[in-house]
C-alpha cells in the first residue's frame, strides 16, 4: 500500500465533501493508520495550521457520523503547501519525499493537461499513481490528447480515472444480481427484455456549482460517464473474473457495440431542456438562466435524454434510455429493466398483465420486482411488488476508490480506451446539439421535466 497521498486542489468542494470524509472513513474502519501522510496543495495563501482548522470544520460538517477520533486524526495528519499546480517547481515541492506517491487531481478537468505536463516535468518517484475525476477530456479529441500525456507520465495501470458510481454497492449489485442468481442470467437478453431505463433525476438545482456545471451540462456531467458506466454493467457479457483486465475488457465491448447515432437518430432519439422558475418542496427555484454564475448564451441543458441500441447477439432489439435532469419534482435514481409481456393470458376476461419490471434503486439503495398475480377477486389480475432493502455499504464510494488507489487495484477505474469509446458514443449528439438540430426545451422547476416523448 502506498503511504503518501497528495491532493491538488485541496481546498475545493471535492476535498471538503468527499475526499477528507473518505480518509476519515478509512481511518475509522482501520484501513489506514498513522503511516499515511497527506499533503494538500492549493493556491490559497494558507499554512498547515489554518488548513487543519478548515479540514476539521469540513469533517464535522460532512462526516459527523464518523467517530470523532477518526476525524481528528485525519485533520491532524494533513499538511498544506501553497502551490500553482501548473508550475513544475511548485508541483515538485508538493510530491517530494521518499517512496511512491498517489497524486489526486481534485481540480477542474480543464486544468488536467497543464497539471499532467507539470507533473511530467517535476518527475514522480517510481511506483507512483495519478487519480483523475471525470469528465476525462471535453470531447473525443481531448480524451485522446489526455491519454497521450498520461502515457508519457506513467504506465496505464498506474492511472486511475475514477467514477465514484462504480464504487457504489448498489451499482455493483446490478452486475452481482445478474451473475449470482441463475434465475436472471438465462433471461438477461433481448428475447425477454424490451427496454432498460437508466435514470438519474434529482430535485437538486445548481447548489452553487454554476462555475463547473455551466461548462458541461447534463449530457457531459452525467450521461457521458456515470450513466454509460451503468449501461456497461447492465449489458456486458459475464466476465471470467472481476479483475481489472476481464472486467474492463467486457465494458469496452459494450461501448464498442453501441450503434453509431446518425443525424436522424440525434434529432429523433435525443432531447435536451433546461428549467424555468418553479417551486421544489418549500423552496422557490429561479430559472437556470437566472442562476448566479450562469451564462444564458451558452444554452446549457439541465435535462438530457438519449436512446441507444446495441449491435450484439444478446441485445439486438432492446432499447436503452439514458436520462438525467436537475430541479425536478422528485428524485428518481434507478436502473429499470422492463421485461416483455407474456404471450398469452388464459383468464378470458380481456385483462392484461403489466410487464414485469426489475428496479435497481440507486439512492436510496433498494431492489424491487414488479409482478402480476391474482388479486382480491377470483381470476382478476392485480399488480404487486417484491422489495428488498440493502444494508448501508461499509465504506462510502470515495473511501472505496481511495483504498483501491492506495492498494494499486484499478479494476473500478476507467481504462484509457474505455474513456475514448465513451466519448465516441456521444460525439454525434454533441455535434448535432452544437448545430442546433435538437431544440432546447424548457420545463418548470419542480415538474417531471419536459413532456414525455414516444420514439418510434
Q: What is the pLDDT of residue 290?
A: 94
How large a percentage of the chain has pLDDT more than 90? 79
- What number of other Cβ atoms are within 10 A of residue 317's Cβ? 13
C-alpha torsion angle, residues 6, 12, 17, 23 (rounded to 10): 10
User: Cα–Cα distance between 285 and 266 in angstroms, integer?
Assistant: 30
pTM of the model: 0.92
Q: For residue 404, count CB atoms less than 10 angstroms from its CB and return exposed for 0-12, middle for 13-18, buried for 19 or more.
A: buried
- Please identify which residue in the block is written with the cell numbers 430559472: 287
Q: What is the pLDDT of residue 413?
A: 93
Distances (CA, A) of 260 to 122, 305, 309, 425: 41, 16, 9, 7
User: Using 50, 70 and 90 to split pLDDT, how confident is the model at 175?
Assistant: confident
Q: pLDDT tens for residues 55-66?
A: 999 999 999 999
Average pLDDT, the chain: 92
- Using the predicted structure, report yes or no on whether residue 456 has a pLDDT greater than 70: no
264 is catalytic: no
Instruction: Check residues 350 and 416 and name the one with the higher pLDDT.
Output: 416
* DSSP for residue 260: P
Backbone torsions φ then ψ of 414, nearest 5 degrees: -95, 125
Span of 111-115, 173-177, 181-185, 280-284 with lowest mean pLDDT: 173-177
Q: pLDDT tens for residues 356-409?
A: 999 999 888 889 999 988 777 666 788 889 998 777 778 999 999 999 999 999
Distances (CA, A) of 93 to 8, 83, 120, 128, 311: 12, 9, 13, 15, 50
Choosing from 62, 226, 268, 379, the catalytic residue is 226
Q: Could you give the residue ranges of the DSSP H alpha helices within 63-209? A: 68-77, 88-95, 112-122, 140-153, 169-179
User: Cα–Cα distance between 445 and 145 in angstroms, integer?
Assistant: 38
How large a percentage of the chain has pLDDT more than 70? 97
User: Cα–Cα distance between 131 and 412 in angstroms, integer?
Assistant: 12
Cβ neighbours of residue 294 closer than 8 Å, sequence gap 6 or more: 206, 210, 214, 288, 300
- What number of other Cβ atoms are within 10 A of residue 412's Cβ? 24
The candidate with the shortest Cα–Cα distance to 2, out of 141, 129, 108, is 129
Amino acid at each position: 500500500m502506498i503511504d503518501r497521498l497528495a491532493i491538488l486542489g485541496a481546498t475545493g468542494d471535492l476535498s471538503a465533501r468527499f475526499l477528507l470524509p473518505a480518509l476519515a472513513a478509512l481511518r475509522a474502519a482501520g484501513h489506514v493508520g498513522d503511516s499515511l501522510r497527506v499533503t494538500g496543495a492549493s493556491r490559497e495563501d494558507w499554512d498547515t495550521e489554518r488548513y487543519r482548522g478548515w479540514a476539521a470544520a469540513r469533517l464535522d460538517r460532512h462526516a459527523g457520523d464518523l467517530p470523532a477520533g477518526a476525524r481528528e486524526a485525519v485533520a491532524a495528519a494533513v499538511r498544506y503547501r501553497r502551490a500553482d499546480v501548473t508550475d513544475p517547481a511548485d508541483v515538485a515541492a508538493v510530491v517530494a519525499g521518499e517512496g511512491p506517491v498517489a497524486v489526486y487531481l481534485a481540480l477542474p478537468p480543464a486544468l488536467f493537461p497543464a497539471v499532467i505536463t507539470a507533473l511530467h516535468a517535476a518527475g514522480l518517484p517510481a511506483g507512483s499513481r495519478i487519480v483523475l475525476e471525470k469528465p476525462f477530456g471535453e470531447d473525443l479529441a481531448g480524451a485522446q490528447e489526455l491519454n497521450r500525456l498520461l502515457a508519457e507520465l506513467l504506465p496505464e495501470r498506474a492511472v486511475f480515472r475514477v467514477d465514484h458510481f462504480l464504487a457504489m454497492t448498489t451499482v455493483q449489485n446490478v452486475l452481482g444480481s445478474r451473475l449470482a442468481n441463475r434465475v436472471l442470467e438465462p433471461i438477461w437478453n433481448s428475447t425477454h427484455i424490451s427496454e432498460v431505463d437508466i435514470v438519474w433525476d434529482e430535485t437538486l438545482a445548481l447548489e452553487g456549482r454554476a462555475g463547473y456545471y455551466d461548462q458541461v451540462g447534463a449530457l457531459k456531467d452525467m450521461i457521458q460517464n456515470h450513466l454509460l458506466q451503468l449501461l456497461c454493467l447492465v449489458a456486458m457479457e459475464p466476465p471470467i473474473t472481476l479483475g481489472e483486465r476481464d472486467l474492463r475488457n467486457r465494458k469496452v465491448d459494450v461501448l464498442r457495440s453501441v450503434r453509431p447515432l446518425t443525424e436522424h437518430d440525434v434529432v429523433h432519439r435525443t432531447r435536451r431542456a433546461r428549467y424555468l422558475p418553479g417551486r421544489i418542496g418549500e423552496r422557490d427555484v429561479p430559472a437556470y438562466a437566472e442562476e448566479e454564475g450562469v451564462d444564458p448564451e451558452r444554452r446549457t441543458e439541465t435535462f438530457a435524454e438519449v436512446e441507444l441500441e446495441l449491435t450484439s447477439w444478446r441485445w439486438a432489439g432492446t432499447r436503452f434510455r439514458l436520462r438525467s435532469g436537475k430541479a425536478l419534482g422528485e428524485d428518481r435514481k434507478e436502473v429499470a429493466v422492463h421485461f416483455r409481456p407474456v404471450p398469452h393470458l388464459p383468464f378470458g376476461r380481456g385483462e392484461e398483465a403489466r410487464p414485469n419490471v426489475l428496479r435497481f434503486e440507486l439512492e436510496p439503495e433498494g431492489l424491487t420486482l414488479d409482478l402480476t398475480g391474482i388479486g382480491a377477486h377470483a381470476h382478476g389480475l392485480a399488480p404487486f411488488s417484491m422489495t428488498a432493502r440493502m444494508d448501508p455499504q461499509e465504506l462510502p464510494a470515495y473511501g472505496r476508490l481511495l483504498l483501491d488507489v492506495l492498494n494499486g487495484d484499478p479494476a473500478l477505474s476507467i481504462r484509457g480506451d474505455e474513456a475514448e469509446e465513451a466519448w465516441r458514443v456521444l460525439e454525434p449528439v454533441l455535434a448535432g446539439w452544437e448545430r442546433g438540430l435538437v431544440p432546447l426545451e424548457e420545463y418548470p422547476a419542480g415538474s417531471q421535466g419536459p413532456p414525455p416523448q414516444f420514439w418510434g
